[in-house]
């Protein structure tokens, strides 16, 4: 399964489970009282456009309204600690571990990660090549992706 498919599956399971467990639901009904799920996520996740694709599908498949709050990781974790969010989608592994160790979360799933890619033309006008050995990952082959440089119009 690709990363987005895995993310959608985990997200739907986790968000639905949390929403179903929100307090006060009538024990004779499978429907929770509150049909809203609050997702605290990072601005980078919001800005990626991923939620623009996932939220409508989630709402259509579950009947829940997903309210998204995009803030920094620290603020999102604080919202979770205070009970102001049902689901968190954040970075910072050590902060997430502390959050979970503090008993604020019920389950944690690795959903995605960031890659930072430095790109440029083969003649290296930015002078990046001497730094290659200090980069955490090995460089891509020049043949891995060839994108023509944009032409400037004056």
66 belongs to a structural domain: yes
Domain hosting 89: range is 3-101
1: CB partners within 8 A, 6+ apart: 9
pLDDT score recorded for residue 154: 47
32 belongs to a structural domain: yes
110 belongs to a structural domain: no
Of 45, 94, 36, 41, the closest CA to residue 70 belongs to 41
149 belongs to a structural domain: no
26 belongs to a structural domain: yes
Q: What is the pLDDT along the chain (154 residues), one digit of tens a residue?
A: 555 555 555 555 555 555 555 554 445 566 667 689 999 999 988 998 989 999 999 999 999 999 999 999 999 999 999 999 999 999 888 899 999 999 999 998 888 776 767 778 888 898 887 776 666 665 555 555 444 445 555 4
Assessment of whether the complete model's pTM goes beyond 0.85:
no
126 belongs to a structural domain: no
Token pair for 112: 């995605």
Domain at 45, CATH number: 3.40.190.10
If one counts the domains in the chain, the total is 1
87 belongs to a structural domain: yes
Indicate if the alpha-carbon torsion angle 58, 84, 94, 117 is positive or negative. positive
């Amino acid at each position: 399964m690709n990363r987005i498919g895995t993310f959608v599956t985990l997200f739907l399971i986790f968000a639905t489970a949390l929403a179903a467990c929100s307090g006060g639901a009538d024990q004779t009904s499978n429907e929770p009282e509150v049909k809203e799920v609050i997702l605290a996520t990072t601005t980078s996740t919001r800005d990626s456009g991923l939620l623009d694709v996932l939220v409508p599908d989630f709402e259509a498949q579950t009947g829940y309204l997903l309210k998204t709050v995009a803030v920094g990781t620290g603020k999102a974790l604080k919202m979770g600690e205070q009970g102001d969010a049902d689901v968190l989608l954040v970075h910072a592994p050590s902060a997430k571990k502390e959050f979970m160790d503090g008993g604020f979360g019920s389950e944690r799933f690795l959903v995605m990660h960031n890659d930072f890619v430095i790109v440029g033309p083969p003649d290296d006008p930015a002078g990046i090549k001497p730094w290659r050995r200090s980069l955490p990952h090995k460089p891509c082959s020049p043949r891995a992706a060839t994108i023509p440089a944009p032409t400037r119009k004056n």
